[in-house]
């Protein structure tokens, strides 16, 4: 019998450049220093008790076994009805709507079902941190196109230059995380025209669709026939109904695209928990919770921006989402000269408020002296943060 320790086999990493996310790092630092955590993007308040009651009722009614693979019919029907009412496009609830284990799983499944080695997928940076690893897991090549620094608007000349015969898909995100920018009708029309002569698919991340502030409106890809015909449209019940921990989202796509999506979906998650689907279907019979969301978050945005105006941060526009970006270029020399990541650590330790550096949303760590706060918080949480930030 050998005295050597048992060997743990080594293998090549599928994601050799991926480590602990900035959100985990900053949340841990915030906890260590008892800072107000405005870094990670989730609410610190409860959802509507009626939604919890709807889920509890479903559980007590015995709706606790596997649902159909694409999701329970009442929820898919509610989603299709909402999309038709808001955006004017009819999706078949049976063949064109699938309920997913959150929007992140939806995006991964969309990428997996249509891309592989030799393909290229365009992402617009800064972008949500799952996009690039999702693409890399398929063996496809990431083609990063920068949004215009400062305004974070799409540069269609650069997008056009990035298109090639190998381009399989482009991922867009509006309202945009992390910048809060909302694509305009002209932006969507330009994208529709640009993709029209191609076979490029569109993955449209619309998880903040109900957080767009007047006078703007959400320009879903569903509004544009040329985009909808080639699009996987992704949204999130967790974001809309303040239940991010439930991890439930959905995808809408033409039937031939959805058939391919479901082939992957059935083997990477199969389906999503039944009682929450049933509860959401019941809750969605009343559209007011999502129709009222712009006013609800708009009030938080205005409160937070008013407080930030008393600091030396330079506020960037916030057209949508529950994120507010600020520039640190007006701060004292010692702080403004720090890289964004180091500044956020300093802000957490010394001021007691956690934020996220925008450089974390770029593959090359592009630093433009901009950081992101999340204002999806109770009023007292925002007031506490603003009181600390007033020192700046």
Would you call 367 helix, strand, or coil by DSSP? Answer: coil
Is a pLDDT exceeding 70 seen at residue 316? Answer: yes
Q: H or E stretch including 205? A: strand 201-205
Give percent of the chain with pLDDT exceeding 70.
Answer: 99
Does 22-41+291-389 match 49-286 in CATH topology? no
Domain 49-286: state its class: alpha beta
Whether residue 1 has pLDDT greater than 60:
no
Residue 160 CA to chain centroid, in angstroms? 24
- Cα angle for residues 298, 302, 304 (degrees, 5° grid): 115
Q: Strand 167-173 relative to strand 120-125: parallel, antiparallel, unpaired?
A: parallel
Window from 25-29, 184-188, 333-337 with minimum mean pLDDT:
333-337
Q: Which residue has the higher pLDDT, 4 or 14?
A: 14
Alpha helices in the chain (DSSP H): 22-32, 49-60, 73-87, 103-114, 131-138, 156-162, 185-195, 225-228, 237-240, 255-268, 274-283, 288-291, 293-308, 333-336, 340-346, 379-389
Domain locations in the chain as residue ranges: 22-41+291-389, 49-286
pLDDT tens-digit series, residues 99-131 = 999 999 999 999 999 999 999 999 999 999 999
Q: How far apart are alpha carbons 87 and 231 in whole angstroms? A: 14
How far is CA 217 from each of CA 124, 164, 246, 332, rounded to the nearest angstrom? Answer: 21, 32, 27, 37
Alpha carbons 91 and 97: distance in angstroms, whole number: 7
* Measured distance CA(50)–CA(62) in Å, rounded: 19
Q: What is the pLDDT of residues 194-221, one digit of tens each?
A: 999 999 999 999 999 999 999 999 999 9
Query: What number of H helices and E strands is found in the chain?
Result: 16, 13
Question: Does the pLDDT at position 333 exceed 80?
Answer: no
Rounded Cα–Cα distance for residues 71 and 274 (Å):
8
C-alpha distances (whole Å) from 258 to each of 75, 210, 249, 251, 264 are 17, 24, 15, 8, 10
Q: Which of 109, 137, 76 is nearest to 269 (CA)?
A: 109
Rounded CA gap, 216 and 316, in Å? Answer: 17
**pLDDT at 365 > cutoff 60:** yes
Phi and psi for 202 in degrees, rounded to 5? -120, 130
pLDDT in tens, 241-287: 999 999 999 999 999 999 999 999 999 999 999 999 999 999 999 99
Nearest-angstrom CA–CA distance, 371 and 179: 9
Distances (CA, A) of 310 to 313, 330, 385, 386: 8, 13, 12, 9
Task: Spell out the CATH class of 22-41+291-389.
Answer: alpha beta
pLDDT confidence band for 3 (50 / 70 / 90):
low
């Amino acid at each position: 019998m050998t005295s050597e320790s048992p060997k743990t086999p080594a293998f090549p990493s599928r994601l050799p450049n991926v480590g602990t996310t900035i959100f985990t790092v900053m949340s841990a630092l915030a906890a260590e220093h008892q800072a107000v955590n405005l870094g990670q993007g989730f609410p610190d308040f409860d959802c509507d008790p009626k939604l919890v009651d709807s889920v509890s009722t479903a559980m007590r009614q015995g709706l606790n076994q596997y649902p159909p693979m694409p999701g329970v019919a009442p929820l898919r029907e509610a989603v299709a009805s909402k999309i038709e009412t808001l955006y004017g496009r009819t999706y078949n609830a049976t063949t064109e709507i699938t309920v997913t284990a959150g929007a992140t799983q939806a995006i991964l499944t969309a990428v997996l079902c249509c891309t592989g080695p030799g393909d290229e997928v365009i992402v617009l940076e800064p972008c949500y941190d799952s996009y690039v690893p999702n693409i890399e897991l398929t063996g496809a090549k990431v083609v990063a196109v920068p949004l215009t620094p400062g305004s974070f608007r799409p540069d269609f000349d650069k997008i056009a230059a990035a298109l090639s015969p190998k381009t399989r898909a482009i991922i867009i995100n509006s309202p945009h995380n992390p910048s809060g920018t909302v694509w305009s009708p002209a932006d969507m029309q330009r994208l529709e025209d640009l993709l029209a002569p191609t076979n490029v698919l569109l993955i449209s991340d619309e998880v903040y669709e109900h957080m767009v502030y007047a006078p703007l409106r959400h320009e879903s890809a569903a509004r544009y026939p040329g985009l909808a015909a080639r699009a996987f449209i992704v949204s999130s019940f967790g974001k809309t109904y303040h239940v991010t921990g439930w991890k439930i989202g959905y995808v809408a796509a033409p039937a031939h695209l959805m058939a391919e999506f479901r082939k992957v979906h059935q083997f990477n998650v199969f389906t999503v928990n039944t009682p929450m689907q049933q509860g959401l279907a019941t809750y969605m019979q009343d559209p007011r919770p999502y129709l009222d969301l712009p006013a609800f978050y708009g009030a938080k945005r205005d409160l937070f921006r008013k407080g930030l105006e008393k600091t030396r941060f330079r506020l960037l526009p916030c057209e949508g989402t529950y994120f507010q970006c600020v520039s640190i270029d007006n701060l004292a020399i010692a702080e403004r000269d720090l890289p964004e990541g180091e500044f956020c650590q300093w802000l957490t330790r010394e001021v007691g408020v956690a934020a996220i550096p925008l450089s974390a949303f770029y593959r090359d760590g592009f630093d433009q002296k901009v950081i992101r706060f999340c204002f999806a918080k109770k009023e007292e949480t925002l007031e506490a943060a603003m009181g600390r930030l007033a020192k700046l």
